[in-house]
Amino acid sequence: MNSNSVHQLAFIAGFKLLAEHVLMNNEAYYPGLEGVIAGETEISTVDGGLIYRGYPIEELAEKSTFLEVAFLLLNNKLPNQEFLADFQSILSESAVVPEPVLNFLTEIPLHSSGMDSLRTGIGALAHFDSQVDESTKDANLAKAVRLLAQIPILIANRYRITKGMKTVPPNPELSFAANILYMITGKDPSALHEKAMDVSLILYAEHEFNASTFTARVITSTMSDMHSAITGAVGALKGPLHGGANERVLEVLQEVGTADNAEAWVRDAFAEKRRIMGFGHRVYKEGDPRAVILRKYCQELAEETGNQEMEKIADTIEELVRSEKGLPPNLDWPSARLYYYLGLDVELYTPLFVASRIVGWAAHVIEQAENNRLIRPRSRYTGMEKQPYKIMSDR
């Protein structure tokens, strides 16, 4: 290498260092990473509505089942009849939770939340999964299917344990959505109940780089295992600004009490600058398409179950918040009512989110692992300038 080449390389290296320094000191700061593109994905997009692997959520909710959507997210294609039957068969065979894990659920203090118990249960399942440390695509797909089958059992068993009821094993003759309701309530659901649950699972299955999904990808980027990534995602989902929001929505509806009280309650909330959960979205500025879909099932279930008063409360609140604050409802607003009409206790709402979102999380874990780069952002330092160190006797 001649001297000119050496000088050129040195100049390039120096220029890169200078450029990095300039970027670090002048780069814009986006609180909450709002609007920042943190990666690429083929799984879903929220641009122009919600789309799973090219399919609009409206079509999937109307024409597909949750298991078809789960297959789509995990395998990048909709299944034909043969593939779907095989998928259902594998899920049925995987619907087994090791006895030590089931026994452990009985030992968790009764005051522990459903999300805490579920997070612990998923972590415990890792000890009994023979592929826990395998990171190939096939191994991750197999683990994803097992978790999809096992998570509803963890949710239902823990719930019934806390209520002093005998646990109910899954029924292989029922659909995925019907089985969830059956294991929780001990009763076969009606056709409308089954369809409403199935649609809610479809709508919750995936949502691009939300907080819990991004958590799962960050964990995966360290080359950790799927169970660790999913456990971390559950921890992120637990928060009231993410998955726990639908629990707060029901509290609002029950606090209002009657449709006659709704307008006064909302205006008091406005005056006190209280946030009404279930409205607005970081991404959907014109409205959450999932909320539009689920509202229809809320209305049908309210009619069937005699909960028209709660629907009137919801309609009044929605109209006022939309017209006076410009905030349309997000998915949490109708889902809280939907689960209430299905006869489900509020402590189940966020765990049921996990029963659906597991397929989205798993798809992102697989995608991240296949094209991995450690996710390691920088921060802007706002602390003290460099300080001279003082030995103990001088402090």
12 lies in some domain? no
Q: Which CATH number fits the domain that encloses residue 181?
A: 1.10.580.10
- In terms of domains, do 209 and 287 share one? no
DSSP result, 47-71 = TTS-EETTEEHHHHHHH--HHHHHH
Q: What is the pLDDT of residue 1?
A: 54
Give the per-residue pLDDT at 21: 47
pLDDT of residue 61: 98
Is 214 or 276 the better-scoring residue by pLDDT? 214
Residue 31 lies in a domain: no
Please report, as a single letter, which amino acid is at residue 20. E
pLDDT tens, 137-182?
999 999 999 999 999 999 999 999 999 999 999 999 999 999 999 9
Residues 232 and 249 in one domain: no
Average pLDDT of span 320-330 = 92
What pLDDT sits at residue 280? 79
Q: Is 70 exceeded by the pLDDT of residue 311?
A: yes
- Return the pLDDT at 22: 42
pLDDT score, position 25 = 52
Residues 184, 73, single domain; the answer is yes
**Given the residues 281, 288, 315, 345, the one annotated as active site:** 281
Q: How confident is the model at residue 35 (pLDDT cuts 50, 70, 90)?
A: confident
Q: So what's the pLDDT on residue 2?
A: 55
- Please tell me whether residues 132 and 186 are part of one structural domain: yes
* Res. 131: pLDDT tops 60: yes
Asked if residue 11 has pLDDT above 50, the reply is: no
Indicate whether 60 and 135 sit together in one domain. yes
**Residue 26 pLDDT:** 56
Mean pLDDT value across residues 2-29 = 52
Task: Provide the pLDDT for residue 310.
Answer: 95
Is pLDDT at 325 greater than 60 in this prediction?
A: yes
Pairwise CA distance, residues 228 & 362, whole Å: 11
**0.75 exceeded by the pTM?**
yes
Do 254 and 138 belong to one domain?
no
Nearest to 72 by CA among 85, 55, 89, 86: 55
**pLDDT-based confidence at 18, cuts 50/70/90?**
very low
The average pLDDT across 356-364 equals: 98
**Which comes out higher in pLDDT, residue 100 or 31?**
100
pLDDT at 246 over 90: no
Asked if residue 4 is part of any domain, the answer here is: no
Q: Is residue 71 part of a domain?
A: yes
**Catalytic residue flag (residue 281):** yes
The helix (run of H) or strand (run of E) holding residue 256 is: helix 245-256
User: Is 351 in a helix, a strand, or coil?
Assistant: helix
Indicate whether 393 belongs to any domain.
no
In a domain, residue 88? The reply is yes
d(CA 316, CA 335): 17
Mean pLDDT on 78-106: 97
* Mean pLDDT of the 21-35 span: 69
The CATH number of residue 300's host domain is: 1.10.230.10
- 385 assigned to some structural domain: no
Tell me the mean pLDDT in the region 111-118. Answer: 95
Q: What contacts 56, CB < 8 A, 6 or more positions away?
A: 49, 50
| Whole-Å CA distances, 284 to 88, 166, 280, 327, 330 | 34, 42, 7, 10, 8
Chain centroid to Cα 63, Å, comes to: 22
Domain encompassing residue 170: 44-238+347-370
Q: How many domains is the chain built from?
A: 2
Q: Are residues 337 and 277 in the same domain?
A: yes
pLDDT in tens, 176-222: 999 999 999 999 999 999 999 999 999 999 999 999 999 999 999 99
**Do residues 323 and 353 both lie within one domain?**
no
Tell me what pLDDT residue 83 has: 97
7 assigned to active site: no
User: How much is the average pLDDT of 34-59?
Assistant: 93
Residues 166 and 125 in one domain: yes
Residue 12 pLDDT exceeds 80: no
- 129, 198, 225, 332: the catalytic one is 332
Angle at 178 between CA 357 and CA 88, to 5 degrees: 70
3-state DSSP call for residue 94? helix
Cα–Cα distance between 296 and 293 in angstroms, integer? Answer: 6
Residue 24 has pLDDT above 90, yes or no: no
Q: What is the C-alpha separation between 288 and 279, in angstroms, rounded? A: 9
